[in-house]
Amino acid sequence: MSAAPDHPRDPIVWTFAIALGFLALCLVRLTVPSQPFFDEIHYLPAARAVLELDVAVNVEHPPFGKQLIALGIAWFGDGPLGWRIMSALFGTLALFASMRAMWFTSLSQAGARAISLLTGLFVATNYLLFIHARIAMLDVFMVAFTMLALWMCAAAIRQNEQARWRLAIAGIALGLAMASKWNAIPLAMLPGLTFLAARLYAGRRRPVRSVRGWPVGGMSLWEAAIWLGVVPLAVYALTYWPFLYWDVASGQPTGLIDLHRQMLGLQTQVPVAHPYQSNWWDWLINRRAIWYLYEQADGAQRGVMLIGNPVTMWFGLIAMGWCAWMGWKERRRDCIALCVLFLASIGLWVVAPKAVQFYFHYFLAAMFISAALALAVDWLWQRGERFMPWALSLGALGFFIYWFPILTAAPLDGEQDFLRWAWTEGWR
């Protein structure tokens, strides 16, 4: 008799534990500094405008992320806890969803359990998620809803009997991701396009109505178009409800189309050069940091430095190249999926007509880099390698511990203490 197929045990308990540990770390000095810092000066007035429903501000970005910040203010008051608590909660959701997405994506691999947990390690310690889970900016909401959508799509492919409600949640999440920040748009298109391409490639006689075949058996193309096309657009449009009440200080749009023309104009205007601006090739090599904070605050010299974890970003880029090779050679769908997601997220900034770009625009791509490193580390382990898997895992964790003071606005020894972390000119 043939041996029973291996079914790795779902690491859901460990997934919750990692997410809760991450949330606990996010809460360390969450209210420091006690004054708005970096781009909070733009998004906090926009969140207050949601509560007041008087005049719209920060019109260049879609409204939902600012509504979530406003919800935090309504619940916890107009202070640092109210400003940042929703970022901490949704940053934790982004971490949890990324682990679940990789669990379902890699179920055909012997190390699926390890891949899921390693994804949690590398995502939690890649610096970008942690910092944005502690500041009132829009990016963490966009990433959280994108990861939630990918989790639901991956689970729908593995568990076809649950596909309908999972794709419904995915569609809602895709709409909310786009409504938090437009960076999500290329990724929001991928699930529907994948479904379409798979059914057309299958060559069915009635590809629109057929319910047979990959990616979701039992679901027709037209139904998938509703969940992954109509629902996201409808949800996205509904998030603009405050504009029914707001006066728009910079103009009087007569509808969503006119409003989006105005938003696009604001996004593509050419502002003055910024000392922290960078380009996509700088992000790939982790070259240009952003100091979100470096000043006297709350009685001490403090800083918050945005850069990628050197272990995760540098070795993760190599791992992404390995994913491309394994996707081509072995037809590994998990590797192919990560490559496509990475290219879509970074490709936006290769062609985007935005004159000034920053390292935080690499946030989504960094999530996929972290997951690629998890796949590569597990592959090495399955081949009997031990040194590199341990070195990369402990190295990423060790760098996170070393960087922790400058990620959490801890009191520093003096004005030159930043040199402990600013190792290169581009990090200063």
The predicted-structure confidence for 42-73, as pLDDT tens digits, reads as follows 999 999 999 999 888 888 899 999 999 999 99
Residue 380 lies in a domain: no
DSSP symbol at 79: S
* Mean pLDDT calculated for residue range 209-223: 85
Token pair of 370 as six digits: 């972290």
Provide the pLDDT confidence category of residue 2 given band limits of 50, 70 and 90: low
Residue 359 lies in a domain: no
**pLDDT(226) > 90:** yes
Residue 171 lies in a domain: yes
Residue 215 lies in a domain: yes
In the chain, the percentage of residues whose pLDDT exceeds 70 is 96
Spatial neighbors of 103 by CB under 8 A, at least 6 apart, are 10, 11, 15, 112, 113, 115, 116
Task: Provide the residue type at 83 as one letter.
Answer: W
Q: What is the pLDDT of residue 247?
A: 78
Q: Residue 226's domain spans which residues?
A: 153-238
**pLDDT(217) > 90:** no
Residue 180 lies in a domain: yes
Q: State how many domains the chain has.
A: 1
Token pair of 225 as six digits: 């178009």
pLDDT tens per residue, range 163-181: 999 999 999 999 999 999 9
State the CB neighbour count (10 A cutoff) for residue 9.
8
CA distance 295 to 302: 6
The pair phi, psi for residue 305, each rounded to 5°, is -110, 125
* Mean pLDDT calculated for residue range 351-377: 92
* Mean pLDDT calculated for residue range 389-410: 98
- Between helix 139-158 and helix 64-76 the angle, nearest 10°, is 110
Torsion (CA) 393, 85, 185, 151 in degrees, nearest 10: 50
Provide the pLDDT confidence category of residue 242 given band limits of 50, 70 and 90: very high
**pLDDT(209) > 80:** no
Q: What is the pLDDT of residue 203?
A: 67
CA distance 409 to 94: 22
Residue 218 lies in a domain: yes
pLDDT tens per residue, range 99-119: 999 999 998 888 999 999 999
In the chain, the percentage of residues whose pLDDT exceeds 90 is 78
pLDDT tens per residue, range 116-144: 999 999 999 999 999 999 999 999 999 99
pLDDT tens per residue, range 334-348: 999 999 999 999 998
CA distance 175 to 145: 9
Query: Please, which contacts does 45-48 make with residues 24 or more away whose CB atoms are closer than 8 Å?
Result: 47/73, 47/83, 47/136, 48/73, 48/78
Q: What is the pLDDT of residue 348?
A: 87
Residue 93 lies in a domain: no
**pLDDT(5) > 60:** no
CA distance 397 to 364: 20
Residue 177 lies in a domain: yes
Burial of 255 (0-12, 13-18, 19+ CB in 10 A): exposed
